[in-house]
Chains A and B, each alone.
Chain A
Amino acid sequence: MNIAQLLYDALVVGCFYALVSMGFVLVFRVSGVFNFAQPAFMLLGGLIYTSVNHSPTIGGVALGVAAAVAVCTVASAVFYRVVMASMVGRPHFAQMVLTFGLTIVMVDVEQMAFGSATRNVAIPLARDAVRLPFGIGTNMVDLASMLVSLLLSVAVIWLVSSSRLGSRIRAIAENPRLASYAGLRVQLILAATWALAGAIAALAGIVYGARIAVDSGMVGIGLAAFPAAMLGGMESPVGAVAGGVLLGLLQGVAVSMFGGSIAESVGFAAMLVILLVRPYGLFGLRPVERV
C-alpha cells in the first residue's frame, strides 16, 4: 500500500477525531468529567442539519450549520445547568454515569423524533475523485472535512490559550474557589464551556455526516474518538490534535493489516497502554495528589 495514501487517510480521520476530542477535553479540563454525552450531541447536530437544510448551496449550509450549532449549544448548556451543576462535590463516577444516561436517553429520543433512517448531508461539493501529489487519491469532501476539522480545532486551541474566555476557563480549571474570589462568574463560565462543547459536537456531527452519513452509528464513531483525547492527555487541546492524528494513523495501519473490524479496538488498546505507562497522556499535566 502507498505510504503517502496511508498517511493522508490517517490525517483525514485524525483531524476529525481531534475535533471530536476538543469537546471531551474542554469539559474534562474545567470540571474533571468524562463527558460521554458528546457523541449524542454529534448525532443531534447531524439530525438538525439534515432536517433544516436540503439544498447544496452556501446559504443552505450556513442555515443548517447555524441551526444545528444553536440547538446543540443550548441543549448542552441546559444539561449542565439543570443536571450537572447540582453535582458539584459528588463523585466523578456519578457525574460520568449521568453523561452515559443522557446519551442513552438522547439517542433514543432522537431516533423516535427523527426516525432511524440514514440521512445524507447536502453540501455544495462534488464527490469526484481528486489526485494530489505523491499519488494520493481523494475527493473534495474528504479534503474539506480535513481542513474544516483542523481549522476548528486550531480555533478551539486559540480560544482556550489566548482569548479572555479561555483564560477564565483555565483559571476555573486550576482552582474554582480562587477564581470566584477574583470575581469570575464560575457557574456562567462552566455553562459556557459546556455550550462550547455542544457547538463543537454539532460541527463534528455535520463534518462526519458530510463525509459519510448521519445515523445512530455516529454515536459509536464519536466514542471511538475518545482514545484520542486520552492519548493526548485529557486536559490538553493541543494533545487532542496530536492524539487524534496518532489514533488515525494507528487505525489506518491496523485496518490495512487486519481488516476493518479492528478499528475501534486498536484505539482502545492504545489507550490502555497509555493509561498504564503514562496515565495523564502525552501532553497532559502530571497530577499532584493532596491528602
Chain B
Amino acid sequence: MRLLTAENALRRAGGFATHRHGGIIVVAFVLAAVAVLIPLTAPPYWLFLVNITLLTAISATGLNFIMGYAGLVSIGNAAFMGIGAYGAVLVAQRLSLPLPVLILAGGGAGTLASLIIGIPSLRLRGLYLAMGTLALQFIAQFAFRRLQEVQGRPAGFQIPTPDLSLAQWYAVLVVLLLVLLVGLRNILDSRVGRGMMALRESEPGAEGCGIDTRGYKLAAFTVSGFIIGCAGALSGALQGSVNWESYSLDLAFQYIAVIVIGGLGYLGGGLIGAGVVVLLPAVITHFALTGYSNSFLVNDAIYGVLVMLFILLRPDGISGLLLLGYETLRQRLRILLRRVSNA
C-alpha cells in the first residue's frame, strides 16, 4: 500500500476522469439543492445579503478574469462599476428603455472605458498598469461627483427598475452568474483563453511563442470591462441608487480581497470570496457583536486580516484549499476501498 501526499493526489487527479466527473456531479446536485432552498427559507434581510453576494460575485468574476487569468493587475474595479452604473443612468435619462437594455448599456460603457484606458496602457507592464487603474479610480470618482453637482443631484441617481421581489432578484442573479461562468469557461478553454494564461505566466515568453500579447491583453480588458460594467449597472438597479461615494478605493480593494480570498485564477473564486467578504461580517455582527458601536471597524479589519493571511499562506485562496481537500479525500477514499476489497 502506498500513501499519497496531497500534492501527488492532485497530480494524479487528471488520470481518473470518470471518478472526477462522478464527484463533480454530486457536488453540483448539492449546490443546486442549496441554491433552490435559499430563497425558500432565508429571512428577507439575509436574502438581500445573498443577493448582494451574488452581485459581488458577478463583478469579482469579471475582475478575476483579467487578474487571475490574464495576470493584469487592476485596482480600478470600483471605477469600472461606477462607469457602468453612470453609463446606464445617462442612457436612461435620454431614452426610456427596459432594465436589461440599460444593463447592457452599462456593459457597453465599461467596454468603452476599458478600451480608452487599455489601449494606451499596452505600454505599461506589471504594477505600472495597476497604477494606471489606481489613477482611473480617483479620476472617475471625481467625474461622478462632478456629474451629480452639475445636474444638481447630491443624493445620487436612480436607474429605472421593475419592481422585483427579493426572490425574483435572486433568480435573476443566479441565472446571470451561471451564464457568466459558463461563458467564461468556454472562453478560457479556447485559443484566446490559453493565450491569456500564457501571457500571465510570462509576457516575453508568450511573445516568443508567437502569441499576440497586445491583442490578448485588449481582449481581456474589453471582456472584463463589459462584465464589470454590467455588474455596475446591475448594482445601481439592485441597491436603488447610484452615488459617487459608493465607488470608492475601499470598494476597489474589497474586490481585490474577494478574489484573493476566493482564489485568483479559479472561476469559482469570485463567488466563494464574495460569500466570505459580504456574508462573514454580517454573520459576525449578528451573532457576536450586536450593539457594539465599532462593529463595522471590526468587520473591515477581519477581511483585511483574511486577505493578508491568504496572500501569505495560501495564495490560491479558498478554491485552492477546497480543491486540495477534495482530492485528498478522494484519494483516501480510494485507498480505503482498495483495502476493503483486498480483505
Contacts and interface: CB of A to CB of B under 8 A. Distances in A.
A188 B114 CA distance: 43
Please report whether the interface of chain A is mostly helix, strand, loop or mixed according to DSSP: helix
Given A93-B126, A101-B308, 4 more contacts: A34-B127, A97-B260, A108-B301, A269-B135
20 contacts: A34-B127, A83-B312, A92-B127, A94-B315, A96-B127, A100-B307, A101-B305, A101-B307, A108-B298, A108-B301, A267-B138, A268-B135, A269-B139, A271-B131, A272-B136, A272-B139, A275-B128, A276-B121, A279-B123, A291-B205
Given A94-B315, A101-B308, A291 B204 contact: yes
Nearest to A261: B145
A162 interface: no
Contacts of B124: 275-276, 279
A230 B134 CA distance: 12
Interface in A103-151: 103-105, 108-109, 111-112
A265 B256 contact: no
B291 to A, nearest CB: 15
A98 interface: yes
A215 interface: no
List the 5 closest A-B pairs by CB distance, nearest first: A104-B304, A265-B142, A268-B138, A105-B304, A272-B135
Contacts of A279: 123-124, 128
Given A96-B127, A97-B260, A108-B301, A275 B308 contact: no
Given A86-B312, A100-B253, A102-B308, A93 B135 contact: no
B305 A275 contact: no
B297 A264 contact: no
Contacts of A104: 250, 253, 300-301, 303-304
B76 to A, nearest CB: 11
B294 interface: yes
A39 B103 CA distance: 37
B130 A93 contact: yes
Contact of A92 (B123, B126, B307): B126
A262 interface: yes
Given A92-B127, A94-B315, A276-B120, A271 B135 contact: yes
Contact of A111 (B128, B141, B297, B308): B297
B191 to A, nearest CB: 24
B199 to A, nearest CB: 14
A94 to B, nearest CB: 5
Nearest to B138: A268
Interface in A214-249: 223, 227, 230
A90 B249 CA distance: 24
B128 to A, nearest CB: 5
B206 to A, nearest CB: 12
B160 interface: no
A277 to B, nearest CB: 9
Contacts of B297: 108-109, 111-112
A257 B239 CA distance: 35
Interface string B101-124: 000000000000000000011011
A104 B294 CA distance: 14
A97 B300 contact: no
Given A108-B298, A261-B142, A98 B308 contact: yes
Nearest to A267: B138
Given A105-B305, A268-B139, A98 B312 contact: yes
B58 interface: no
A109 B138 CA distance: 25
Contacts of A34: 127, 130-131
B280 interface: no
Contacts of A276: 120-121, 123-124, 132
Contacts of B146: 261
A87 B131 CA distance: 21
Nearest to B253: A100
A101 B132 CA distance: 20
Contacts of B249: 223
Interface string B282-324: 0000000000001001101101110110011001000000000
A264 to B, nearest CB: 5
B311 A94 contact: yes
B17 to A, nearest CB: 32
A275 B120 CA distance: 10
Given A94-B315, A275-B132, A83 B308 contact: yes
B234 interface: no
B127 A93 contact: yes
A265 B136 CA distance: 9
A108 B304 contact: yes
